[in-house]
A and B are shown apart, each in its own frame.
Chain A
Amino acid sequence: MSNRELSCSTALREAMREEMERDDTIFIIGEDLVAHGGIFGQFEGLPERFPGRVIDSPISETCIVGSGVGAALTGMRPVVDMHFADFVTTGMDEIANQMAKIRYMFGGQAKIPMVLWAPDGGGLSAAAQHSQSLENWFVHIPGLKVVAPSEPSDVKGLIKAAIRDDDPVIFFQHKRLFAQTGHVPEDEYIIPIGSAAVKRPGKDITILTYSRMTYLCLEAAEQLAKEEIDVEIVDLRTLKPLDFALIAESVKKTYNVLIVHEACLTGGFGGEIAARIGEELFDYLDAPVMRIGAKDVPIPFSPVMEDFVLPKVSDVVEGVKKVLNR
């Protein structure tokens, strides 16, 4: 077993290269991909290695997403690069009304094996229109699968699964985690879509989280351990379909739940999870399920304000203590 540490960015690239080698119906389309392998260097090396299969598009999101849909309908496995997750709005009809619904509307005649890769999240002073976390919009649309990994090994395993899945998948990868390193197995592996993972076992409280907040919660857990509070962290990894079985296993053990996401609190995905826990795990709860999310404002530019708006380690620590009434 090697001690191979890769960044999330490298893990993505490695996965894309392996998949594109394996299957030549896979291509990538998006803006500014060829010159530098993408604005984050996320596909570096791929345009050279697979000429003609990494395609630069004009700024025409309806047709970038639409290309994905049309190509998927006619035998290809496209990976569509959304540039910034915030720009889903400019291709929203193609995502919500076409990508999500075509298979169903046409009675199963077609399938859309497409991945929409969307870098999301804040904390880079990129301000309101380049910092959002919009995953809950897509959880709400029937017909889409929604994935949001945290660490490099999850990125690699899940992008492969998403590409190989015959259904449309939206893949949110946090911008601030591109440089985050972590262990990635050398051998070929896939992480099934719809499987959460316990990133830190514990017995006092279950934290349900995903994407960059997983790291935030791990840090909070270290602090809380010093105060003899033992936190279990469940990284959801896939938001839809949700791995409720693992969530239930954890809640039945700890009886207390805190949900942490970077997306705004109100109407965020945390509300859906909390409601479901209330419905299905009511008798196991020793305290109300609480959620932590960003404050309900657009992400501001100035770092001091952005830090205030986005969830912090101290928010998680306080949240845990509030649930546990300590």
Chain B
Amino acid sequence: MIEITIPKLGLTMESAKLGRWEFSSGDAVKEGETILVIETDKVSFDMPAPSDGIIHPIVPEGTTCAVEEIVGYLAENREEYERIIEEHPFGGAEGTEKVEASQAGAVSQAGQPAAMPPSSAGPKGRIKASPLARSMAATNNLDLSAIVGSGPGGRIVRVDILRVLEEAPAIAGKKVEKPPQEIPKGIAIKEISESIPIQGVRRVILDNMYQSLSQSAQLSLHTEACAEPLIALRERFSRDEGKVSFNAILVKISAMALRLHPRINASVEGDDIRVWRQVHIGVAMEANDALIVPVVRNPDIKTIREIDHEILELIQKTRENKLSPDDLANGTFTISNLGFADIDFFTPIIRPPESAILGVGRITKKPSVRNDHVIPEARIGLSLTFDHRIIDGAPGARFLKTIKEMVEEPLLMIN
């Protein structure tokens, strides 16, 4: 059994954030495969597996760990693995929270109580609910563990289910109340902590964002795709010459999808809709506290590996502040990936004069229903914002569906 620990990557390094486990507990890994991405304030580091084995992470993603801290184990074989998982269960309070949160699934979570009423959970976590309430909850896909019962002894009864169903649309506005804090008496004191002039890139972004939203009719659609084929595809590529990024694959998919839906690859100019002949896809990046979107040229006729190289080059240039205006010009579509921040879905803002932008969420395991069974499966959030002045809801939706289908069946890229 091998302990997986946070390596000391620099003389002064004391800790690192556990960014992302590339494998789940019980997966077989090969020596040299990246098993873990850790992040310091300077750099993101892909940790390779020290040998072949069966991996068992014990620290959840997002945890800040000290150097040399054990974050997982690598078992030699299945028996050793079985023993390890018993002795070293995954995570702690944090871990189970995550598990519960993801089990909520695509379900309205109204009824999050502010106060603490009699628990509807009986001994051993058994939930007290009338047979009718159970049946109603099952029909409406409600999670009983999130509902507070008003019946005797905290039993969940029919009115409680009805209440949840009525309040469902209102969840968005619901906030969890924080307990009142010490408020100083008198008028609120507000002092300047720092003053930053709006100039340069920030000015451009400010103007562009405002212009974008005020001059076009933007709406966003969200969907979620099974990410297993994507992961498999990336894996397959990795076996040849090293990894390609998910972004590279998604750029390729978007490009092929745009070929099938040319009206998305368009702009408004005066009284005309310009449908562009070429496809150039910008990949949103962060550089020096600002958003920058270098453009990958003609990805529709490039291979994924070529796209990947191009993206890496652009990243490099971005980091070294060596981007040229050519690198940023003439994009016809944009991809923005916030998956690193655990975002599932968002409403990206279109970069004028483009008419659409794809927001990509994180890839994470979620419960999914296949053949009436609930199974864990890697899923990826996909959000599309488009300009309703020239793209209607249905065509927009169809375009997003094509992307989703290609994500789930990469072979569809070959057209």
Which A residues contact B (CB, under 8 angstroms)? 255, 282-287, 325
If A255-B158, A325-B157 touch, whether A283 touches B152 (CB-CB below 8 Å) is no
Q: Is the CB of A284 within 8 A of B131?
A: yes
A283 to B133, CA, bound (A): 8
The B352-367 residues at the A interface (CB cut-off 8 A) are none
Q: Is the CB of B151 within 8 A of A325?
A: yes
B303 within 8 A of A: no
Pull 19 A–B residue pairs with CB atoms less than 8 Å apart, ordered by A: A255-B132, A282-B131, A283-B134, A283-B135, A284-B132, A284-B135, A285-B130, A285-B131, A285-B132, A286-B130, A286-B131, A286-B132, A286-B133, A286-B157, A286-B158, A287-B151, A287-B157, A325-B150, A325-B157
- Pick from A282, A285, A286 the residue with the most CB of B within 10 Å: A286
Q: Hey, which chain A residues are within 8 Å of B150, CB to CB? A: 325
The B115-166 residues at the A interface (CB cut-off 8 A) are 130-135, 150-152, 157-158
Determine how close the nearest CB of chain A comes to the CB of B133; give it in whole angstroms.
7
A31 to B237, CA, bound (A): 102
A284 to B150, CA, bound (A): 18
Determine how close the nearest CB of chain B comes to the CB of A95; give it in whole angstroms.
39
Determine how close the nearest CB of chain B comes to the CB of A277; give it in whole angstroms.
11
Count A-B pairs with CB separation below 8 Å. 26
A285 to B131, CA, bound (A): 6
Q: Is the CB of A283 within 8 A of B151?
A: no
A286 to B150, CA, bound (A): 12
Q: Could you say which interface size class chain B belongs to?
A: 10 to 19
Determine how close the nearest CB of chain B comes to the CB of A231; give it in whole angstroms.
17
What is the chain B residue whose CB lies nearest that of A278? Answer: B131
A283 to B151, CA, bound (A): 16
Q: Hey, which chain A residues are within 8 Å of B135, CB to CB? A: 283-284
Q: Is the CB of A325 within 8 A of B152?
A: yes
What is the chain B residue whose CB lies nearest that of A284? Answer: B132
A286 to B131, CA, bound (A): 6
Determine how close the nearest CB of chain A comes to the CB of B139; give it in whole angstroms.
10
Q: Is the CB of B132 within 8 A of A283?
A: yes
Q: Hey, which chain A residues are within 8 Å of B157, CB to CB? A: 286-287, 325
Q: Hey, which chain B residues are within 8 Å of A283, CB to CB? A: 131-132, 134-135
Q: Hey, which chain B residues are within 8 Å of A282, CB to CB? A: 131
Determine how close the nearest CB of chain A comes to the CB of B415; give it in whole angstroms.
51
Determine how close the nearest CB of chain B comes to the CB of A252; give it in whole angstroms.
10
Q: Hey, which chain B residues are within 8 Å of A255, CB to CB? A: 132, 158
Determine how close the nearest CB of chain A comes to the CB of B129; give it in whole angstroms.
10
The B240-272 residues at the A interface (CB cut-off 8 A) are none
A287 to B151, CA, bound (A): 9
What is the chain A residue whose CB lies nearest that of B151? Answer: A325
Q: Hey, which chain B residues are within 8 Å of A285, CB to CB? A: 130-132
Q: Hey, which chain A residues are within 8 Å of B132, CB to CB? A: 255, 283-286
A246 to B134, CA, bound (A): 24
Q: Hey, which chain B residues are within 8 Å of A286, CB to CB? A: 130-133, 157-158
Q: Hey, which chain B residues are within 8 Å of A284, CB to CB? A: 131-132, 135
What is the chain B residue whose CB lies nearest that of A288? Answer: B130
Determine how close the nearest CB of chain A comes to the CB of B137; give it in whole angstroms.
11
Known: A255-B132, A287-B151. 18 other contacts (CB 8 A): A255-B158, A282-B131, A283-B131, A283-B134, A283-B135, A284-B132, A285-B130, A285-B131, A285-B132, A286-B130, A286-B132, A286-B133, A286-B157, A286-B158, A287-B130, A325-B151, A325-B152, A325-B157
Determine how close the nearest CB of chain A comes to the CB of B86; give it in whole angstroms.
39
What is the chain B residue whose CB lies nearest that of A282? Answer: B131
What is the chain B residue whose CB lies nearest that of A285? Answer: B131
Determine how close the nearest CB of chain B comes to the CB of A92; give it in whole angstroms.
40
What is the chain B residue whose CB lies nearest that of A281? Answer: B131
A129 to B152, CA, bound (A): 40
A285 to B157, CA, bound (A): 9
What is the chain A residue whose CB lies nearest that of B157? Answer: A286
A287 to B153, CA, bound (A): 12
A11 to B130, CA, bound (A): 44
Determine how close the nearest CB of chain A comes to the CB of B310; give it in whole angstroms.
59
Determine how close the nearest CB of chain A comes to the CB of B164; give it in whole angstroms.
15
A42 to B158, CA, bound (A): 49
A286 to B130, CA, bound (A): 5
- Pick from B130, B133, B134, B158 the residue with the most CB of A within 10 Å: B130
What is the chain A residue whose CB lies nearest that of B138? Answer: A283
What is the chain B residue whose CB lies nearest that of A283? Answer: B135
Q: Hey, which chain B residues are within 8 Å of A287, CB to CB? A: 130, 151, 157
Determine how close the nearest CB of chain B comes to the CB of A105; give it in whole angstroms.
42
Determine how close the nearest CB of chain B comes to the CB of A242; give it in whole angstroms.
21
Q: Hey, which chain A residues are within 8 Å of B158, CB to CB? A: 255, 286
Q: Hey, which chain A residues are within 8 Å of B133, CB to CB? A: 286
A285 to B151, CA, bound (A): 13
A310 to B135, CA, bound (A): 37
Determine how close the nearest CB of chain B comes to the CB of A88; give it in whole angstroms.
38
A283 to B134, CA, bound (A): 8
A287 to B149, CA, bound (A): 13
What is the chain A residue whose CB lies nearest that of B135? Answer: A283
Q: Hey, which chain A residues are within 8 Å of B130, CB to CB? A: 285-287
A282 to B134, CA, bound (A): 11
- Pick from B132, B134, B151, B157 the residue with the most CB of A within 10 Å: B132
A284 to B132, CA, bound (A): 5
A283 to B136, CA, bound (A): 9
Determine how close the nearest CB of chain A comes to the CB of B159; give it in whole angstroms.
9
A282 to B157, CA, bound (A): 14
Determine how close the nearest CB of chain A comes to the CB of B243; give it in whole angstroms.
52
The B329-345 residues at the A interface (CB cut-off 8 A) are none
Determine how close the nearest CB of chain B comes to the CB of A255; give it in whole angstroms.
5
Q: Hey, which chain A residues are within 8 Å of B131, CB to CB? A: 282-286
A325 to B133, CA, bound (A): 15
What is the chain A residue whose CB lies nearest that of B153? Answer: A325
A159 to B157, CA, bound (A): 43
A284 to B134, CA, bound (A): 10
Determine how close the nearest CB of chain A comes to the CB of B76; give it in whole angstroms.
51
Determine how close the nearest CB of chain B comes to the CB of A158; give it in whole angstroms.
34
Determine how close the nearest CB of chain A comes to the CB of B52; give it in whole angstroms.
52
A255 to B133, CA, bound (A): 10
Determine how close the nearest CB of chain B comes to the CB of A285; give it in whole angstroms.
5
Q: Hey, which chain A residues are within 8 Å of B151, CB to CB? A: 287, 325
A285 to B155, CA, bound (A): 13
Determine how close the nearest CB of chain A comes to the CB of B117; give it in whole angstroms.
14
